[in-house]
């Protein structure tokens, strides 16, 4: 039986999963970094096997989506950036990558990525169930508990990470 020891921290994988077009996806550059291959090598392997990657497994970002990602500093590249928008892979597309890359690392990384997707799905599912139960309780009880329910909803809301401005401020030396 294979060891469940992580090759990559789960948090690193979670940070690489993005929501684009209402789908959880991972960018080609992030996957290449996890697999420890160059992005162009990953993309070439995919292009040689395009029949394995229908649109619900993989799609290329539009120029507009790419510009939005770039403005959010999600993508970066050597020598001033990329020449083309990145490819994105859904959970099924990531699973298919292990059959294309065929390295031992790709297999182990894919297993971790699949487990992370499953973990995120469970968290979202339990969050949705909790929200349904809270709605039912709110309907059952009168307005005196409205503030309590509102406080609980605020606690359930996802935390937005604080972003620090990039650059220097006047007076910093």
Q: What is the pLDDT of residues 53-93, one digit of tens each?
A: 999 999 999 999 888 888 775 444 544 567 789 999 998 99
Which domain covers residue 104, as residue numbers? 10-122
Q: Please state whether the predicted TM-score (pTM) of the whole model is above 0.75.
A: no
Mean pLDDT over the full length of the chain: 79
In a domain, 59, yes or no: yes
Residue with tokens 């789960």: 10
Q: What is the pLDDT of residues 123-168, one digit of tens each?
A: 777 777 777 777 777 776 666 567 777 777 787 777 666 666 666 6
Look at residue 69 in the predicted model and tell me its pLDDT: 82
CATH number at residue 84: 3.10.260
Dist. CA 43–CA 23, nearest whole Å:
20
Nearest residue to 34 (alpha-carbon basis) of 20, 51, 64, 14: 14
Query: Total structural domains in the chain?
Result: 1
In a domain, 127, yes or no: no
CB count in 10 Å sphere of residue 152: 15
């Amino acid at each position: 039986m294979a060891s469940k020891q992580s090759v990559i921290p789960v948090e690193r994988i979670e940070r690489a999963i993005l929501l684009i077009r209402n789908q959880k996806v991972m960018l080609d550059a992030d996957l290449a970094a996890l697999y420890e291959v160059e992005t162009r090598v990953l993309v070439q392997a995919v292009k040689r096997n395009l029949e394995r990657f229908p649109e619900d497994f993989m799609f290329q970002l539009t120029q507009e989506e790419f510009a939005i990602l770039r403005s959010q500093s999600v993508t970066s590249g050597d020598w001033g950036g990329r020449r083309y928008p990145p490819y994105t892979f859904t959970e099924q597309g990531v699973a298919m990558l292990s059959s294309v890359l065929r390295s031992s690392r790709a297999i182990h990384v894919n297993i971790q990525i699949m487990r992370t997707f499953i973990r995120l799905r469970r968290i979202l599912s339990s969050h949705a169930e909790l929200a349904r139960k809270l709605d039912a309780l709110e309907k059952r009880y009168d307005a005196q508990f409205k503030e309590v329910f509102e406080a609980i909803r605020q606690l359930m809301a996802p935390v937005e990470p604080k972003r620090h401005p990039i650059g220097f401020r006047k007076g910093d030396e």
